[in-house]
Structure 1
Amino acid sequence: MKLQGIAEQVYSLADSNDPLAPLVKEALDVIDQSLSDLGQDHVSISFNGGKDCTVLLHLLAGALEKRRSSSNITSSIPAIYIAVPSPFPVLEQFIEETKQQYNLDLFCVRPPESDTVESVVTPEVQKSGKDYVSHLPHPKAVGKSKGGEGMRQALEIYKKRFPHIRGILIGTRRSDPHGSKVTHRCMTDPDWPQFERINPIIDWSYGDVWTFLRQLHVPYCSLYDYGFVLIIGFR
């Protein structure tokens, strides 16, 4: 689907009588206000191929397209992918396909190779064109916990590489660890790299996420169809 179609799709849903409409409208309002406050070029999205950030990306694409004067893609969407050790190959394939579909300018931060499992084959990432890959310093690994030291290091790398980015859209929900303590917009902790955390779907339930994906026929990672609830990779 072209981005113009995505915009028409999500805003039509927001203006409808569908049970999802209030949540979609709220999320779009949070996204749009953040883009206005921080500047469209200063906001990126955290994307790891999971269902929640897939919903968020679809909403962001619609919000950005509505701001554009034509249906042609004029700029890419800044994004960061913080990889876990030994991610599933099918997950990385989905991320690559999504990158192409939504025109993501995706920066990838990977853990040290010694932290991965050799028996699990992961796709080789090209280091040319718009593909950015950075590796974390060796002793500390990323992916052990959602808010761990690896995450902090990844954001430090991202801040140094893209100092103009001021806010990051995140698919956090209330049921996530620490989700009950955050609001739609809040800063990272003082001892972390300073970004505004933007959480447009914080009030969505698990069921809301799947209803949105299936009702709007949004492509999602096929691992969910095999019974996976969380997609993180092997250790």
Structure 2
Amino acid sequence: MIYDSLARPDGPRINGVAKPSDSPPKRKLPEICYELRGKIDAFLREDITGDDVLRNVQTQVGVSMGVIEEALRRYGPDHLSLSYNGGKDCLVLLILILACLPSWNAPSVSPGQSDPVSDNSPISPPSSESAELSRPLQSIYIVSAHPFAEVEEFVENTAQEYHLDLKRYALPMRPALEAYLQDCPAVKAIFLGTRRTDPHGEFLTHFDPTDAGWPQFMRIHPVIDWHYVEIWAFIRHLKIPFCELYNRGFTSLGGVTDTRPNPALAVSGDCSKFRPAYELRDDDEERLGRDNK
């Protein structure tokens, strides 16, 4: 069952700023990919002194992009998908995947030439758009039983902005994955935004097949070793728009019935006022606003 009826309240908002009704036409996917690759390449070349978090993020980005590029080599875009729900972790993963597509699309180098990916030199847009790079990224959205309208709206907006071929399933996780693989039998591996501190994330590696009894595919975890503060440092340093619930003290997004603002971000103990999610520092406090911790 594909769930396609997203909430569409008037005046959609991202990061608390209303999106203009006369927004410009959607940019083409290659333009977005090369722009993101340029931003990340520039970030990796930054000489960051006095900021241990951003230096760690630079290292994490390099590792994650290596995992993504390895997945592209193993499976190719036709057999890859992304699990996307608009949350901060899969948002970072989405940006990194899109930034890796230009290197996948780049022409191979001749012996003796430098590799434009490994030597971190900028990748220039091609003179003509490639069909490979223009193809939307396959993705699956497993909808919460009681979704936030803000999350639904953000998922819809970003799916359009980043050209996701997004299929929505209002089902529990296992039957949702079964239905997705039945609808998209070419998918052999799925990128997940799971991190080490998430439930069941402690022993995962970058590539893990699904467990027995589950739909069979390769789970790919490029951001598994990122810390909470590193996720937010990346998003804010690169000025990536994010779901507005994070500005209201939500630090882990579930459904309306099991998620609330994080009490660790309450202002002066007032549980009606909360600081934004990116001010939380401790990984262990990330899911204090979730019933299913």
**What is the match of residue 92 of structure 2?**
55
CA distance in 2, matches of 1:76, 1:166: 17
Match of 1:99 in 2: 159
Aligned to 1:165: 187
For the aligned residues, what is the CA RMSD?
1.6
Normalised to the residue count of structure 1, the TM-score between the two structures is: 0.80
Correspondence 1:130-209 to 2 at 5 A: 150-209=172-231
Deviation >2 Å, runs of 4+: 11-18, 65-73
1:3 aligns to 2:25 (yes or no)? no
Structure 2 residues not aligned, in runs of 5+: 1-30, 49-54, 107-125, 258-293
* Code of the aligned partner of 1:5: E
- Given residue 188 of structure 2, which amino acid in structure 1 is its aligned partner? R
Distance 1:85 1:182, change over 3 A: same
Q: TM-score, normalised by structure 2?
A: 0.64
Deviations 1:3-58 (A, max 9, x none): 21101112333354440211000000000001110122101100001000000000
- 2:43 corresponds in structure 1 to 13
Asked whether the 8 Å contact 1:81–1:107 carries over to 2, the reply is: yes
Q: Which amino acid counterpart does residue 104 of structure 2 have in structure 1?
A: R
For 1:178 and 1:16, the matched residues in 2 are separated by 35
1:88 Cα deviation after fit: 0.9
Residue 91 of structure 1 aligns with an amino acid whose one-letter code is V
Equivalent AA in structure 2 for residue 24 of structure 1? V
Q: Which residue of 2 aligns with 1:31?
A: 68
Q: What whole-Å deviation, never above 9, does each CA across 1:95-129 have from its counterpart, x for those lacking one?
A: 11101111000010014xxxxxxxxxxxxxxxxxx
Aligned to 2:135: 75
Assess, with a 3 A threshold, how the Cα gap between structure 1 residues 87 and 206 changes in structure 2: closer, same or farther: same
**Where do 5+ consecutive residues of structure 1 fail to align?**
112-149
Q: Secondary structure at the match of 1:179?
A: coil
Q: Which structure's CA Rg is the greater one?
A: 2
Residue in 2 aligned with 1:220?
242
The whole-number CA distance in structure 1 between the counterparts of 2:71 and 2:135 is 18
Partners in 1 of 2:36 and 2:215 — Cα distance? 32
> How far apart are the structure 1 equivalents of 2:218 and 2:47?
32
1:66-105 CA deviation, whole Å, 9 max, x = no partner? 3335374511000000000121111111111101111000
CA–CA distance in structure 2, aligned partners of residues 66 and 96 of structure 1:
27
Q: What residue identity is the alignment partner of 2:203?
A: K
* Structure 1 SS opposite 2:202: helix
Equivalent AA in structure 2 for residue 109 of structure 1:
Y
- 1:181 aligns to what SS in structure 2? coil
What is the total number of aligned residue pairs between the two structures? Answer: 197
**In the alignment, what sits opposite 2:274?**
none
